[in-house]
Amino acid sequence: MFESKGYQILDQSKTHYITSTVIDWVDVFTIKIYNEIVIDSMKYCIANKGMILYGFVIMSNQIHLIIQSRNGRLSDLLRDFKKFTAKTILETIENGETENRKDWMLKRFEFACKSNTRNEQYQFWEHGKTSEAIYTEEYYKKSLEYIYQIPVKNGIVSKPEDYIYSSASEYIKNKNLIQEFKTN
């Protein structure tokens, strides 16, 4: 049986571009409450866990982050973030009255859990990951531009700053949820 060892980030202190995908690409983030769980968790991690968030976008079935850990423990930060968001979203699905795909979604997450002994009942996030260290300001800018253009390329909005579940508008308007990139 295959079991992922999770994130194995070599340089824990560097800024990374991370993509996390929902199991089977289930379109969970088409519902507002699930997006709010992710946003609230990012805010909590910024305030309490040392997350430095440079940019993000939440699409229907995955999230893209450009983040760093203040304490140089990015793998632990990502593990905690993903564990909390998965647990909270799954509880919301189980207890919710508004999710008409509830049974189907929970069966998908339950089936995915069977191939991984670390999960007890459900698996929400895929274990495969995209994680790339960002060593230059040029690569940082390209990564940020890339994630901000995803909703535009998918025809959801015409301008990145119009997409509600992205830090693009905050970045453009210099709001304070995200920080300016600094090379180490």
> How many structural domains is the chain composed of?
1
Is residue 162 situated within a structural domain? yes
Is residue 178 situated within a structural domain? no
**11-38 mean pLDDT:** 93
Q: For residue 99, what pLDDT band results from cuts at 50, 70 and 90?
A: confident
Kindly report, residue by residue over 39-53, the tens digit of the pLDDT.
999 999 999 999 999
Q: For residue 180, what pLDDT band results from cuts at 50, 70 and 90?
A: low
pLDDT at residue number 6: 46
Structural tokens at position 86: 């998965």
CB contact at 8 A, 64 and 160: no
pLDDT at residue number 117: 64
Is residue 7 situated within a structural domain? no
Give the domain range for residue 37.
15-172
**144-157 mean pLDDT:** 96
pLDDT at residue number 7: 46
Is residue 144 situated within a structural domain? yes
**If you ran DSSP here, which 8-state letter would residue 29 be given?**
G
Is residue 33 situated within a structural domain? yes
pLDDT at residue number 115: 73
Is residue 182 situated within a structural domain? no
pLDDT at 176 over 60: no
Q: What is the CATH number of the domain that holds 25?
A: 3.30.70.1290
Which among 132, 126, 135 has a CA at the least distance from the CA of 147?
132
pLDDT at 1 over 50: no
Phi/psi of residue 174, nearest 5 degrees: 60, 40
Is residue 8 situated within a structural domain? no
pLDDT at 177 over 60: no
Which among 16, 60, 50, 54 has a CA at the least distance from the CA of 165?
60
Is residue 118 situated within a structural domain? yes
**What is the pLDDT of the chain when averaged over all its residues?**
86
pLDDT at residue number 69: 95
- The residues, any chain, with a CB within 8 Å of residue 124's CB and separated by 6 or more, are 22, 23, 85, 86, 89, 90, 109
Kindly report, residue by residue over 110-135, the tens digit of the pLDDT.
998 887 666 678 999 998 667 889 99
Kindly report, residue by residue over 68-97, the tens digit of the pLDDT.
999 989 999 999 999 999 999 999 999 987
pLDDT at 179 over 80: no
Place of tokens 């079935």: 61
